[in-house]
Chain A
Amino acid sequence: QVHLVQSEAEVKKPGASVRVSCKASGYTFSSYAVHWVRQAPGQSLEWMGWINPGNGNTRLSQKFQGRVTITRDTSATTVYVELSRLSFEDTGLYYCARDTFSPGGPYNWFDPWGQGTLVTVSS
């Protein structure tokens, strides 16, 4: 079975950085892009960026460029997202999600999702 398991909740002070991990299992790690999605309390889903675990290439939402880094460790089949210069507005649930493709076609969606990691920014 395909699974994504994320790291535990974090509490950080404003201005600090946080790194969240997402361990993949049950499939060929290098074959599927992994995305990061944020959901602030009571708010919508916000796409942050993705990584191609095969070659390490990343693409970020314009909103997060310069503040977010996505990396991977192929030997550990784990993807990481690091967010720097945290502010109170960065409080929320951070999800990783894997691309899944339509049979033989170009369409894709997110499945599965990690369980989410709560990041709380508090002074």
Chain B
Amino acid sequence: DIQMTQSPSSLSASIGDRVTITCRSSQTIYSYLNWYQQKPGKTPKVLIYAASTLQSGVPSRFSGSGSGTNFTLTISSLQPEDFATYYCQQSYSTRTFGQGTKVEI
């Protein structure tokens, strides 16, 4: 199984901050990388698919980049509703999630 390593595991940020989360795969997954947001008591919601494509309805302050084994999720200006846990997921071979990044105030 492909392993996904996400960092940091948690971060503290303020409204308006630029936030960056990284994800690394144990082998190349080309652009088969998704980013999800999960809020407490809710199911995950996809933000980005194919490494950099913004899902319909997701605010443009979210962006994704990378290919191969190194990927980044960026929130350009953190909003109150963005405090949540973020997961990367590879969809190149079976599926694997990263360990998650909790974004806190």
Query: A residues bordering B, Cβ < 8 Å?
Result: 35, 37, 44-47, 50, 59, 61-63, 95, 102, 105-116
Interchain CA distance A26-B33 in the complex, whole Å: 27
Number of interface residues of B (CB under 8 A): 22
Contacts A44-B87, A61-B1, A62-B1: A110 and B100 contacting too (C-beta < 8 A)? no
Tell me which of B18-26, B44-52, B62-70, B74-82 binds A: B44-52
B1, B49, B87, B98: the one contacting A107 at CB < 8 Å is B49
Query: B residues bordering A, Cβ < 8 Å?
Result: 1, 31-32, 34, 36, 38, 43-44, 46, 49-50, 53, 87, 89, 91, 94-100
Contacts A46-B97, A47-B95: A102 and B1 contacting too (C-beta < 8 A)? no
CB neighbours (8 Å) of B99 from chain A are 44
**Chain A contact residues: over half helix, strand or loop, or mixed?**
strand
Q: In angstroms, how far is the closest chain B Cβ from the Cβ of A38?
A: 10
Contacts A105-B50, A109-B34, A109-B89: A45 and B44 contacting too (C-beta < 8 A)? yes
CB neighbours (8 Å) of A112 from chain B are 43
CB neighbours (8 Å) of B44 from chain A are 45, 110, 113
CB neighbours (8 Å) of A95 from chain B are 43
B32, B91, B97: the one contacting A45 at CB < 8 Å is B97
Judging by beta carbons under 8 Å apart, are B94 and A107 in contact? no
Interchain CA distance A109-B98 in the complex, whole Å: 14
**What is the chain A residue whose CB lies nearest that of B55?**
A109
